[in-house]
Amino acid sequence: MRAARIHAHGVPADVVVEEVPDPEPGPGEVLVRVRAAAVNFPDVLILADRYQVSASPPFVPGSEFADVVEALGQGVTEPAVGSVVAGSTFTGAFAEKVAVSAKALRPVPPGLDMVEAAAFGVTYGTAYHALVTIGAAEPGEWATVLGAAGGVGSAAVDVGTRLGLRVVAAASSPERLAVARKLGAEAGVDYTTEDLKTRVRELTGGGTDVVVDPVGGDHAEAALRATRWGGRFVTVGFADGRIPRIPLNLVLLKGVIVRGLEVRSLRRHLPEAVPAADRALADLVAGGMRPLLGSVHPLASVAAALAEVGERRAVGKVVLDMNEERTGS
């Protein structure tokens, strides 16, 4: 099979496409044919050995995929061979086949094609958990989303709006804010030209109830300062590349609840929250929700796709389509 591989930690340009043996599903695992695989920011960090968990080269990068079950490992009875599934893994998704734990798979919500299914699970699950499971957002509350045109950010705007939240989108350009408005954001802040704290407090009439921050860097503290007393600040990643240091006196004075969301840990510590989120998201898909696709690349262009995400040029999700006939980029 064809697979993207990196032989030493590095940058997207170091990833090459090679012929490698098909993986074999071990006990408790399932072999899935991969039609589409989404590119996420942690994939870039893993390449550079800058993620919280290290992968030893050589390895196949990629964490999110969708297509059909081809074979079952020992002890696995479902999903059945031929089932259409989406799933996630630490590495291994940027290949024509992947072997993963059966527990890492889920059914594809009806209405999504394979490219959409690959783009959906991680970002939309992260968005839902950040807003609801961790952020405890309620309809009518204000939610401020940083990086609102990126993968997680655009999903948070979309999900939040459909759940009845009043969303303030924060992004780095008028063009990105326009994308967020199309997804339902009620207002927008360009944090390259406007004071994020002041503008969010003006727009929300005194402070936002929830912040979803997949960006980090300098904007995190400003967004926390924009919360009302007793607001919730949910950190989900550091696309800026810098991990912020929040002064705890702000947390004390504002009564802010600061929480983190890392989906693998959530699955381990709050397993009951995962099927609840899946059901809620499936209902939203049935109502017409679809992931925002920024670009679709063939596997041969995997380095360009990773660079697009790593350099924060992506609007919405970037996806690899293993079907060479569909090569939109």
Average pLDDT over every residue of 62-67: 96
Tokens of 145: 């989303």
Domain count, the chain: 2
Is 31 part of a structural domain of the chain? yes
User: 128 and 105 in one domain?
Assistant: no
How far is the CA of 288 from the CAs of 253, 277, 279, in angstroms?
Answer: 42, 17, 15
Q: Quick check: is 75 in a domain?
A: yes
pLDDT at position 325 over 50: no
Residue 72 lies in a domain: yes
pLDDT of residue 97: 97
Whether 328 is covered by a domain: the verdict is: no
CB 91 within 8 Å of CB 121:
no
Please report, for the domain that includes residue 169, its CATH number.
3.40.50.720
Q: Do 147 and 234 have their domain in common?
A: yes
Last residue of a domain, one of 250, 266, 282: 266
202 falls within a domain? yes
Q: Which two three-digit tokens encode residue 268?
A: 């381990």
In this prediction, what percent of the chain has a pLDDT beyond 90? Answer: 86
Query: What's the pTM?
Result: 0.89
Helix or strand (DSSP H, E) at 310: helix 302-310
106's tokens:
């889920």
Asked if 9 and 143 sit in the same domain, the reply is no
Q: What are the pLDDT digits (tens) for 110-165?
A: 999 999 999 998 899 999 999 999 999 999 999 999 999 998 999 999 999 999 99
Q: How far apart are the first and last CA of the chain?
A: 23
Answer whether residue 15 is part of any domain: yes
How far apart CA 17 and CA 19 sit, in angstroms, is 7
Phi-psi region of 120 (alpha: psi -120 to 50; beta: other; left: phi over 0): alpha
Q: Is the pLDDT of residue 327 over 70?
A: no
User: pLDDT by residue (tens digit) across 192-217?
Assistant: 999 999 999 999 999 999 999 999 99
Same domain? 22 vs 138 = no
Residues 142 and 106 in one domain: no
Average pLDDT, the chain: 94
Q: Are residues 127 and 195 in the same domain?
A: yes
Instruction: Tell me the two tokens of residue 89.
Output: 């893994």
d(CA 317, CA 155): 9
Same domain, 126 and 262: yes
Quick one: 100 and 206 in the same domain? Answer: no
**Full residue range of the structural domain in which residue 313 is found:** 2-112+291-321
Q: How confident is the model at residue 323 (pLDDT cuts 50, 70, 90)?
A: confident
Helix (H, G, I), strand (E, B) or coil at 244: coil
> What does the block give as tokens for 256?
């802010």
Residue 211: DSSP 8-state = E
Question: Looking at the domain assignment, is residue 280 inside a domain?
Answer: no
User: What is the DSSP pairing of strand 29-39 with strand 97-101?
Assistant: antiparallel
Instruction: Check whether residue 82 and residue 167 sit in a common domain.
Output: no
The answer as to whether 276 is a domain residue is: no
Kindly report the CATH number assigned to the domain that includes residue 310.
Answer: 3.90.180.10
| One domain, residues 12 and 69 | yes
Both 252 and 300 in one domain: the answer is no
